[in-house]
Copies of this chain bind each other. A is one copy, B any other.
Amino acid sequence: MAAYGANKGETVELIPGGTLITATPEEGRALAMLMARKSIGAIQPDAEVRKSLRPEYSTSADSLTGAAHVVAIEFATVAAANKYWRK
């Protein structure tokens, strides 16, 4: 199934590792961040364009909050998948 905005014949890995299951909350959080990043990579596949946006959003509190918001939502899914790493 072709990813949103990806060029034909190119495959974008959307879920690094291919699973939502991680050993620890720390790894789950890192996965959540990567998932958000891969979404953006699928919508804007040009790495140069993405790089050019960084100076602005990384120095805007509201843009950073917006990015943290997406990470929080992705993490909610990853955490539920892992039953919150309860022992």
Contacts and interface: CB of A to CB of B under 8 A. Distances in A.
A66 B72 contact: no
Interface residues of A, number: 62
A33 to B, nearest CB: 4
Interface string A44-80: 1000010011101111111111111111111111011
- When all copies of this chain in the complex are counted, the total is 6
Contact of A66 (B25, B66, B71): B66
Chain A's interface: helix, strand, loop or mixed, by majority? helix
A15 to B, nearest CB: 4
Interface of A: 1-5, 13-15, 18-21, 24-31, 33-37, 39-40, 42-44, 49, 52-54, 56-77, 79-81, 84-86
